[in-house]
Amino acid sequence: MYFLREALRNFYRHRRINLVAIFVIATGMLLVSGVALVYVNFRNFAAYWGSQVHMVIYLRDDITPERRDALRLAFEQAPEAASLIYTSKEEALQQLKARLGEGATILQGLQSNPLPASFTITVRDDYRKPERLREAVERYRQLPEIEDIDYGERWIERFLTLVWLLEVGVIGIGGIIGLAVMFIIATTVRLALYSRAEEIEIMRLVGATVWFIKIPYVLEGILQGVVGSGLAIGIAYGVYVALMVWLRPAGEFFVDFSLFQFLPPPAITTMLLTGGLLGAFGSLFSLRRTGLSS
């Protein structure tokens, strides 16, 4: 209780410096929150789009009904198949006409149906990596009844690359800002130590241990980190809500807004704990440089 009281007293005594430090910390952590928010929502969309990954297997026109049924059974039992849909030549033509709408009149002159029948396989989660998809596609291409296979290879590879770049960006920006936060807290604590140099010397002379002197400053650093992180999260939430209110009327026909979310509780807890840990390390670093080392 004494240590917490001393930490709060130090915090209030040097409130101007502490408020500046908290503001700078909040600014840095706000950037981390923004990147994390983009990453979290991108992962939500990634999961949604990933659930739409599928292979369209086009059949040759001369395939027999018996062989088609055998392929259907084989595809249904394939390890990569989450679900299977068969589209006949006639159904494919009707779907094309529906997509063309009024433009479907251009199809009236066709002497025969040029569209192939197809099987659409929705791919299971653990088979959505490009290399596993390629293995399945190459296996299917060996079948003589298969005309062609479409599975959006380039799109999947680019999408996974973008996810990886975002993950690296979150780690990189978080690391840089973490170092900056430690430096800010270390500087603030050092200034507080210099202003209380005489008091600290008296405490040492009367027998106070090094950790008895250090703990209030470590708690002060933790307080700075947690308050700065909490302020950043609060600002990020306000900006997020404002953006949702502003974007929803114009974008609800193009984007499923139910996929958007703010930082989940584990991420918020992690940010607060990280702020506190950075504060503790920054304080310990400052105390070590000023000679208060155990």
Span 37-95, pLDDT tens digits:
888 887 777 777 666 678 888 999 888 889 999 999 998 888 888 888 898 888 888 88
| The two three-digit tokens of residue 221, written as one number | 């650093």
Q: Cα separation of 218 and 75, whole Å?
A: 62
Q: Cα separation of 221 and 263, whole Å?
A: 25
Predicted confidence at residue 238, as pLDDT, reads 93
Q: Cα separation of 128 and 118, whole Å?
A: 20
Kindly list the structural domains of the chain, giving each domain's residue range(s) and its CATH number in brackets, ordered by start.
Answer: 2-49+157-289 (no CATH), 54-150 (3.30.70.3040)
Predicted confidence at residue 197, as pLDDT, reads 67
Of all residues in the chain, what percent are helix, strand and coil, respectively (each to 5)?
75, 10, 20
Going by DSSP bridges, is the β-strand pair 81-87/54-59 parallel, antiparallel, or unpaired?
A: unpaired
Predicted confidence at residue 237, as pLDDT, reads 93
Task: Look at residue 27 and tell me whether its pLDDT is greater than 70.
Answer: yes
277 C-beta neighbours (distance < 10 Å), count: 16
| The two three-digit tokens of residue 152, written as one number | 């959006």
Sign of CA dihedral 14, 20, 23, 27: negative
Instruction: Look at 4-8, 96-100, 135-139 and tell me which has the smallest mean pLDDT.
Output: 4-8
- Look up residue 120 and give its DSSP letter: E
Separation in Å, CA 267 to CA 102, 240, 262, 272, 274: 50, 15, 10, 9, 10
The average pLDDT across 11-15 equals 68
For residue range 255-287, list pLDDT tens digits in order: 667 778 888 899 899 889 988 888 887 777 776
Predicted confidence at residue 50, as pLDDT, reads 64
Q: At what angle do helices 265-289 and 153-195 cross, to 10 degrees?
A: 40
Of 14 and 39, the structure prediction assigns the larger pLDDT to: 39
Helix (H, G, I), strand (E, B) or coil at 87: strand
Selection from 93-102, 137-146, 195-204, 230-239 with the highest mean pLDDT: 230-239
Q: What is the pTM of this model?
A: 0.61
Predicted confidence at residue 14, as pLDDT, reads 65
Q: Cα separation of 230 and 236, whole Å?
A: 10
Q: Shortest CA distance to 227 belongs to which of 284, 265, 181, 165?
A: 181
Q: Cα separation of 194 and 186, whole Å?
A: 12
Model confidence at 196, in pLDDT bands (50, 70, 90)?
A: low
Q: Shortest CA distance to 30 belongs to which of 283, 271, 291?
A: 271
Of 103 and 76, the structure prediction assigns the larger pLDDT to: 76
Task: Look at residue 124 and tell me whether its pLDDT is greater than 60.
Answer: yes
Q: Shortest CA distance to 50 belongs to which of 129, 138, 167?
A: 129
Model confidence at 253, in pLDDT bands (50, 70, 90)?
A: low
User: DSSP H helical segments within 149-264, as ranges?
Assistant: 153-195, 197-205, 210-251
The number of residues making up the chain comes to 294
% of the chain with per-residue pLDDT over 90:
7
Task: Look at residue 292 and tell me whether its pLDDT is greater than 60.
Answer: no
The average pLDDT across 114-143 equals 83
Cβ atoms of 140 and 79 closer than 8 Å: no
Predicted confidence at residue 6, as pLDDT, reads 65
272 C-beta neighbours (distance < 10 Å), count: 19
Q: Cα separation of 117 and 54, whole Å?
A: 16
| The two three-digit tokens of residue 80, written as one number | 């990569």
Task: Look at residue 11 and tell me whether its pLDDT is greater than 70.
Answer: no
Beta-bridged to residue 150, according to DSSP, are: 56
Of 61 and 204, the structure prediction assigns the larger pLDDT to: 61
The average pLDDT across 4-9 equals 67
Cβ atoms of 128 and 85 closer than 8 Å: no
The average pLDDT across 89-112 equals 74
